[in-house]
Amino acid sequence: MTVTTEHVQGLDDLLRATAPGARLRDLSEDDITRMQAGAEVLAKTLASDRPVYGVTRGFGPLVVFAADDSAVLQGSGLISHLASGQGRPLPPEVCRLVVWLRLSSMRHGYSAVSTEVWRKLADLWNRGFVPAIPQDGTVSASGDLQPLAHAALAFMGRGEAWVEEEGQWRVVPAGRALAELGADPLEWPAREALAFVNGASVGLAVAAYNHQSLLRMVRAGAMLTSRAVSLLGANPEAYHEGLSRARGQSGQAVVAQWIREGLRPGAEWDRDRPLQEPYSLRCAPQVLGAVLDQLHSGEQVLAREAAGCTDNPVCVDDQVLHGGNFHAMPVGLVSDQSGLCLQQIAYLAERQLALLCSTETNGGLPPMLTPRPGSGSGLAGVQLSATSFVAKIRQLVYPASLTTLPTNNGNQDHVPMALNGATAVSEALELGWLVIGSLGVALAQLAALSDEDVDEGESEELWASIARACPPLDRDRPLAEEVRAVREIIDAHLKKSEHRSEPL
């Protein structure tokens, strides 16, 4: 029952495997063999009168007390008392991934769950049943207990579920969603209930979606840097591959290549500009490249977590082992680092926006890129808002792992707060994309004031779409909607490169 590294999949494959219309494959003979072996280990341990957490003993600090004689009452009690989560539900695609991750963890056999319960859950997942999972209320130490309990509660016909009606997702009572599928509510025996809620899967699911958005944002930062360099006539030497070769950092090399590929063909240094631009332009490969390296490192951690078993206890090598595989620190630290990376991308974009708004650095164009200085203020409001967005991002991405508090009568005396960190990064990402949209609006106005034609080649459609969404300013107008529109255009352009794959 070994999870080998060749089975660790990338996050792209993971998200495609759980996309709408994807199906979870049935248990293979190897899966069944592993799951039966785990169940046999558990049965032998119970027959020997050795205590097993959550099965013969209570939960958390109540482990010193005997469990209920009824496995189903023990399981339903676990789920019921943990259903204390609050807050808005996570998006349906995240909730769907959460259940997939728990089922993936169980099929390794370490959790000793029954194949019958696993197949009931998998069948409902394949038929489109999606629990509505609240985002707040877990410390992510014994896994994401509260959010996962709400998911388990939905399978019992209690709580809430997501349903798609006329192309729109909405939350309805879980009993109604099950009834519409013609499905009976599930009963949770103690071991299966514990295996479902004891996992870091909620923070992991949120972190996986955050990671993909951050990768696109790095690409967006490189594209917008290319556009700014081309329009300003900045010295392209800063993106020469020799600089990356001399330093040896792979992320820098990749980002510098992206910037070079986005430059206007034949782009040259305008000698009216300085030899060396401010760092927000000149050091873009170094900043975005460092972010890219961190994201690639974090992806390996998240992919291993998705491929492994986060549960307690686990059945390994004929032993029931009590430990802490449910502790979500690996996911928590990745989310913390993702937040710091997001701040760097947004801050770089905000500084480039400031560069475009200043006559001293925008090539002598009017301040705030307004064609009517004084009677008009151009992008002054947009820049102020972008500054606010960056400031709030910094509030949101304070490392959640630094906010740990002991709880659970001292049983959980070291907790990672991983889901808190992941959902904070999700909120900060929305603001980060608004900073990207703000810079895109500024570049559209820079192009208009510079009388620049849309580039020929691969980027033509992107810049033409942005120009249509954000026409030249003749006098001041509200730009909030245009910032959002440009954000969506850039994100959609980058999503085109994502390819579909076969379900796993």
Q: Which residues are catalytic?
A: 53
Q: 481 with 496: CB under 8 angstroms?
A: no
Question: Parallel, antiparallel, or unpaired for β 160-165 and 130-131?
Answer: antiparallel
Q: Which residue has the tokens 């170094």?
A: 286
Count the Cβ atoms, other than its own, within 10 Å of residue 200. Answer: 33
Asked if 295 and 257 count as a contact pair (C-beta separation under 8 A), the reply is no
Give me the residues paired with residue 134 across strands.
89
With a CB cutoff of 8 Å and minimum separation 6, the contacts of 32 are 115
Query: DSSP string covering 364-375, please?
Result: SPPGGG-SSBTT
Q: Which amino acid is residue 54, in one-letter code? A: G
Would you call 341 helix, strand, or coil by DSSP? helix
The backbone torsions φ and ψ at residue 405, rounded to the nearest 5 degrees and listed phi first, read -135, 135
Question: CA-CA distance, 244 to 256, in Å (whole number)?
Answer: 8
Q: For 349, what's the count of Cα atoms within 13 Å in the CB-facing half-sphere? A: 34
**Helix (H, G, I), strand (E, B), or coil: what is residue 490?**
helix
Residue that the structure tokens 């000698």 belong to: 271
3-state DSSP of 264-293: CCCCCCCCCCCCCCCHHHHCHHHHHHHHHH
State how far the alpha carbon of 141 is from the alpha carbons of 96, 279, 311, 409, 447, in Å.
22, 41, 11, 14, 51
Helix 329-357 to helix 418-449 angle (10° resolution) is 20
